[in-house]
Amino acid sequence: MDVMLVVDMQVGLREGAAKYDLLGVVGRINALGVAIRKRGGRVIFIQHAGGAGDTFEPGTPGWRFLPELRRAPDDMVVAKTLNDSFHETSLSDILADFGCDRLFITGWATDFCVDATVRRAVCSGRAVVPVADAHTLSDRPHLSAKAVIEHHNWVWRGLIAPGGIEVLPTHAILNGAR
């Protein structure tokens, strides 16, 4: 079964500098979610839970998912407190229960939570597919957001993964890339 993770696509990400192609990324995540569900797969939304006073403090406006995201009633939500979506969460058990064969990873921020999640996922033995054009961040002091995205897509292609890793753009996945 295919499973897609949507990492930290929450209202609080709108604070600070603009995120690279945010509406395009949301649109591609929505399209992938529809396709994966239609193929019998599942979508899991990862929700960062910050501490008291944090932009992502549970129950605050910043903690909520972006309203533009299309969520289905049977989509799951997994709360996390660190960059790594697997650390001290039920995510590994949920993926095992689903019989997840291929794990698509999308979301925010490319160089923090998405990267930490990709790196942890490759150790799981599952086929991992970071979606090349469905993750975002803002410009960094030393690199543009576009350069960071390109760099991480390049790095992820080179990871040694027991289940394999393939960085694919949304259109390839929607057109049946296996």
Asked about 113 being catalytic, the answer comes back as: yes
Residue 134, H or E segment? strand 127-136
Cα(123)–Cα(84) distance, integer angstroms: 13
Question: Helices marked H in the chain — which ranges?
Answer: 22-38, 91-98, 115-121, 145-157, 170-174
Cα(131)–Cα(173) distance, integer angstroms: 9
Q: Which of 9, 113, 127, 165 is catalytic?
A: 113
Asked if 85 and 120 count as a contact pair (C-beta separation under 8 A), the reply is yes
- Active site members: 113
